[in-house]
Amino acid sequence: MDKVLEAKNINKHFLKPKDFHVLKNISFAIKKGEFASIMGKSGSGKSTLLYILSTMDTEYTGELYLNEKLVTGRLPSELSRIRNEHIGFVFQFHYLLSEFSVLENVMLPAKKLARKTNQEIEFDAIQKLKMLGIENLAKQKASRISGGEKQRVAIARALINNPSILMGDEPTGNLDSYNSDNVFNIFKRLKEEEGLSLLVVTHDEDFAKRTDYIIEMEDGRIIS
Ligand SMILES: Nc1ncnc2c1ncn2[C@@H]1O[C@H](COP(=O)(O)OP(=O)(O)O)[C@@H](O)[C@H]1O
Ligand SMILES: [Mg+2]
């Protein structure tokens, strides 16, 4: 029992403006503690695939498993809980609530899950901020910190519920090389120290080469 994520024969069509077969028989699995990257030209279907894998898009055929349990076909309310509990997501743009403090942003997904008291959640959030070296920013408004810091806050937020897998869609796409390196090293440390599984779409070949393996996409297929 160590497959954290498995896709079996995922196919997807966009029907508008005309029928377009965007994902073609996508099958692969990520094991616990694996750090995989997805590369491929713009338009090859990477973001579309991540939306399906993160359970946000349910319009596809094939099967998606999380921790060896079938996720495909579940009700929207169940999917929302599964997503909040098991999947951390980091985007190119951070989507922090700018009027809230860093600490409040990180606490939000745990408050939504409602398994712990606010005090426990605050403690967890500070632990995550410490792990990312930004606990000194806890009380700052999210709008008042730098781009690299915002992305680290977004990672802390993605980790607050201790997900089974962290997914990223070009999480370093807006960062300079110093901050990209920083994010990569954080991901690597999460894999090595916490046994976290990661799946990250990137355009950065140096980043991808340092992951455990590269899933290469072309025209909606995995080619290697
Ligand atoms: N909502 C949509 N409706 C129709 N076509 C779409 C839609 N979203 C994306 N596409 C098309 O699907 C293809 C794959 O897009 P995407 O998954 O965003 O690629 P990538 O992330 O690899 O750049 C592209 O040709 C894009 O134009
Ligand atoms: Mg994309």
Among residues 93, 71, 73, 95, which one has the least CA distance to residue 83?
71
Ligand 1 atom with the smallest distance to the CA of 41 is 22
- pLDDT the model gives residue 94: 82
CA of 17 to the centre of ligand 1 (A): 12
CA of 11 to the centre of ligand 1 (A): 14
Question: Could you report how far apart the first and last alpha carbons of the chain are, in Å?
Answer: 25
**Rounded to the nearest 5 degrees, what angle is found at the Cα of 35, between the Cα atoms of 4 and 177?**
145
Cα–Cα distance for residue pair 151/179, rounded to 1 Å: 9
Q: Which regions of the chain are under pLDDT 70?
A: 1
Q: Which letter does DSSP use for residue 52 in this model?
A: H
Q: Can you give the pTM of this predicted structure?
A: 0.95
Ligand 1 atom with the smallest distance to the CA of 42 is 23
* In the chain, beta strands by DSSP E: 3-14, 20-31, 35-40, 61-66, 69-70, 87-90, 165-169, 197-201, 213-218, 221-222
Tokens of 73: 């076909």
CA of 47 to the centre of ligand 2 (A): 4
Cβ(62)–Cβ(26) below 8 Å: yes
The ligand minimizing its distance to the Cα of 173 is 2
- pLDDT the model gives residue 1: 60
Q: Any idea what the CATH number is for the domain that residue 217 is in?
A: 3.40.50.300
Cβ(163)–Cβ(129) below 8 Å: no
SS3 199: strand
CA distances from 77 to 56, 60, 169 (A): 11, 18, 24
Q: Pocket around ligand 1: residues whose beta carbon is below 6 Å from it?
A: 14, 20, 22, 40, 42-48
Alpha carbon nearest to ligand 1 atom 26, residue: 43
Cβ(200)–Cβ(171) below 8 Å: yes
Ligand 1 atom with the smallest distance to the CA of 49 is 17
Tell me, what amino acid is at 140? Q
The ligand minimizing its distance to the Cα of 17 is 1
Q: How many domains does the chain have?
A: 1
Neighbours of ion ligand 2 (CB under 5 A): 46-47
- pLDDT the model gives residue 67: 96
- Residue in 10, 22, 44 to alter for ligand 1 test, most ligand atoms within 8 A of Cβ: 22
Q: 6 — phi, psi (to 5°)?
A: -140, 130
DSSP string, 83-137: HHHHEEEE-SS----TTSBHHHHHHHHHHHHT-S-HHHHHHHHHHHHHHTT-GGG
- pLDDT the model gives residue 52: 98
CA of 132 to the centre of ligand 1 (A): 33
- Residue in 11, 48, 199, 201 to alter for ligand 1 test, most ligand atoms within 8 A of Cβ: 48
Q: Residue 87 class from Cβ within 10 Å (0-12 exposed, 13-18 middle, 19+ buried)?
A: buried
Per the structure, the complete domain to which residue 115 belongs is given by 3-222
Alpha carbon nearest to ligand 1 atom 27, residue: 43
